[in-house]
Amino acid sequence: MEEFISIEYDYEKYQKLEDNGRYEIIEGRLYNLAPSPSVFHQHVCGNIYHKLRIFLQDKECVPFISPVDVRLAPKGSEDRNIKNVVQPDVFVVCDKSKIDQKGIVGAPEFVVEVASPNTSARDYLIKLKLYERYGTKEYWIVNPQEKSVAVFVKAKEDRFDISSVFFHPAIIRSSFLSGFEISTDEVFAEI
């Protein structure tokens, strides 16, 4: 069962947390990201990040891998007014003005979350709506247990439509990152 702290949080309070834990804030709720993800989860993230890094070399967009704070708020928002801070597993930012010393302010254009038993409800329900609302163009949810990748793409109404669900073996192609593709063999490659 997922755990969150019941006090309302903002980015200002988040920065003052004294422990070394990892957290996210969604609509003012502080979610504890403990325990650490599994080794396989981290390996899947690394596989996707590596492929994106090679693909985006010498291009405008920049890939990132967690932990990096993404503050889902308009630029110039005061820290006490930022109620959504997430740490996507892997993501891409194409507008470099969103990058600052604290992390990212504004939605990444492309996001990948690797679901785990502790986070899958948040990834499939809460974060899907959050990324949709703040302007992410494409959102992938990787499910290591099923060896599947659900791809959500921004539709004309500015809402996500599920583009496809890919089950291993398959090749996944990005709609937003034209020319980017990755096979499920690459995504789920063992250590």
- Position 3 scores a pLDDT of 56
Could you identify the residue written with the tokens 């034209």? 178
Domains in the chain: ranges and CATH: 4-187 (3.90.1570.10)
User: pLDDT at position 4, please?
Assistant: 53
Closest Cα partner for 85 from 95, 97, 73, 93?
A: 73
Q: Can you give the pLDDT at residue 117?
A: 85
pLDDT value of position 2: 53
- Whole-model pTM: value is 0.94
**pLDDT by 10-residue block (mean), the chain, 191 residues:** 70 91 94 88 97 97 97 93 97 97 97 92 94 97 96 90 94 97 96 62
Q: Which pLDDT score, from 0 to 100, does residue 191 have?
A: 62
